[in-house]
Structure 1
Amino acid sequence: MCGRIAVIASPEEVAAFTGVGDLESFPPRYNIAPTQPILVVTAGPPRPPGSNLPDRAALLARWGLIPAWTKNPADLPLLINARSETAIEKASFRNAMRHRRALVPVSGFYEWKKLPGNRRQPYWLRPRKGGLVALAGLLETWAEPGGSEIDTAAILTTGASADIMHIHDRMPVVIQPEDFGRWLDCRTQEPRDVVDLMRPAQPDFFEQIPVSELVNKVTNVAPEIQDRVEPLPEAAPAKVAKPKAEKRQSSEDGQMKLF
């Protein structure tokens, strides 16, 4: 799955990577959590003649997709991820897969490894070569009862690559730059035409950095949450046995003393 992301690149780097042109200034974000706004890139209107940029647009969307047909979001679970294997058929994601595929540019994402003793070791996963990576996203616009509209998004996941399997059995779908156009083209590329793009990243694509439990709290947003630490031991902490109370006996007859 994918439950936390980070974008620590500059707006200029994000714009150049996704081909959207200029972006408004924004600060580095080290710990982006569900329900918070995330930057998504979609197919956009045609560029003016002479432009060498692709027809793409960027916008902010709430992380947690709300299907357009939803009457009350409280009746649905928080849809931050969509399984790529079933998104084409699922009612919650079917329309977005057909009409509103998107890219979610990130510097990396966090994942938690379950350990014995109800413990979890967080990892920061970033491209081994550095820079940004584009995760496959879905976009949906939900109309509130009052008439206002809100853009919402989910990140597609797939089975984890062999090197990440020891942390978690799922990972976000990565779209390579040479496939941006095909993924975003919802006019000529139907969902069945882009199924081949929804696959695990190549082994060794992501560097896996054990980090501290600071990342567990959404209020921790400073750079140090990405500092490498020694991972928690795999074995559960040994339980210390409590000493049993000893019976006091008389040194004369072995009977229990009353006084």
Structure 2
Amino acid sequence: MRIAIVAAFALVAASAFAQAPSAKFQQAIAATGAKAGGDLTDAPKIKADGALYSLSGTIQQSADDGSFLANLSPSEENVALANVLRQQRGIVDHPSYFAISVPKSLQKYYFDNAKIGSGFDVVGRYISNTKYQTVGGQQKQAPVFEAVYFELWSNRSAAPVTYPAPVAAAAPTVAAPAATPAAQQVKQAVAKKDPYTACMDGANGVMADMIECAGAEAKRQDTRLNAAYKIAMAATSDKDALRNKQRQWIKARDAACPLDRDGGQNAVLTQADCIARGTAVRANELESLK
């Protein structure tokens, strides 16, 4: 998924203060049966299992498509686990990184309120791993989670419910009524799955099936893209400008979604997922030009 965030960055300690898990976060964990995911940030699985995990973190780097890189927060629950794992592995002062893909249903809340350094709680589906490089040149891997529940610490009291229910693209993006329990909202959100999410869920962590899902999604989004491009070209008075912009976008997308030929099946999945999500973003942009 567009979680191909491959970058060098400084190893800095989290700046957020310790935060106790909110009642909504605890309800989301109970509703989804999510497992604690803190240990995956130091030791990702060889292949993502598609299961739901809960984590708390601080945003370190962000991308325009709603994906971001985070480090494990010094929350009451995570810091002890992270410290034990680092001691066991002989790691000293090394932040534990992971990546989050924010789905469209949560992106308005995310983009309106999130900042670099913001603390958050998340329940996410473990979909892949991504590579990053430390300032010392060391290659590391971080797990990637697609959020089904997302709550910023700074906005816990800003609204009765901070988890926006999925809505149609043309409908106003608003929080669900406060009378609906947070746990029920999460159940409803998980139940309303797009075809890609449903396919990945059905794969049950089997890598070959997950690759097939990602490939099918990439083709589906490419069909959307081509249709939207034809309509946009027919409607615009500056066809050369749109054509050049589309060519530049294709180059940028391909550069952002390279295939790590030494990465095995996980690399194939990561690239296909990246292409699918990047193509979906561009299709949305072109469709908005109608």
More helix by share: 2
TM-score, normalised by the number of residues in structure 1? 0.25
TM-score, normalised by the number of residues in structure 2? 0.23
